[in-house]
Chains A and B, each alone.
Chain A
Amino acid sequence: MEVSYYPGCSLEGTAIEYGESTQAICRTLGVHLKELPDWSCCGASSAHVTSDYLSVALPAKDLEQAEKIGLDLIIPCAACYQRVKVAEKELQSDHRPEGITFSPKGNIRIMHLADFIWDCVGEKQIVSRMKKKLEGLNPVCYYGCLTSRPPKITDAKNPDNPQSMDEIMLALGANVRNWSYKTDCCGGSLQFTRLDVAKRLMQKLFDMALEAGANCIVVGCPMCHGNLDWRQSEIAEDSGNRYDLPIYYFTELMGLAYGEIDTVKWLGKHMVESKALLQRNGLL
């Protein structure tokens, strides 16, 4: 299966393990990711604060390329995904920003990686490549804000209770826990400016994950990962609570189930120690 691929800036830097694990599992699943030539930043959480024009023109540039290529566009980063969807919808609406000539034809689907893997690659293929079951892992899946909201932009089927990562983890043998905080905000956009506010949101997520009986959190967004992984020890220190919750990209756990040798390398990039839980359960 061939698709266009827009990795986004984080996957080359702060979320490099998400980028590498995405490439690895797609190879295993027989998905050929064709990276968009010379893609550029979508403007993420800053362009829409500073300029309506840039917030649409930047992602529109790469959407235009993808439509010309004509293959479905797969995006692993929640923020990039949402900004490209915003560009598509804005440019199809009657209040498009002036000065952009491109009009999306809508000839391709724009999909977040987790939805693509569950809906298009499918359970049969996902399970057929499995070498070990993710037994002993009790994850809660955390989707964050931007793959779901607002549903008129994201076209999310179930914006308050998304399922794709839950289904993938369940298919690979994990004991997925249910919780009501799948799409609550972690405060990622405030991490560098009002960390105090972001920490309060994150602490709620950690407390609720533990209450749901989780021993790890599974994510599909570089901003959520960066926030929950990098700040967890500080939050534990500040609150006096013990939080020992590895934050895994769903692609890393898929790689683990598929026996990818680089899994250890990816997990070594996390701030929260992420290997011990897997070793205790004979997965590593």
Chain B
Amino acid sequence: MDLEAAKVIGAGLAAIGVGVASAGVGFVFGSFLQGALRNPGAADGQQGRLFIGFAAAELLGLIAFAVAMIILYAV
């Protein structure tokens, strides 16, 4: 296999990580909604924590994307 083909395959594999992170982000918001619908009064106070969880989950997907970009353009 030549390097060019291996690069593209590697970048495609790194893109799996982005998809998995999307599941993580969905889980964060889904869980928040589940809790918020049970106790709507307390929901507004927890929005900061919601976005912290979102940021942590999203970061890993963005790192996977950065890995794909590094493989494609920088290696």
Does A pair with B?
A: no
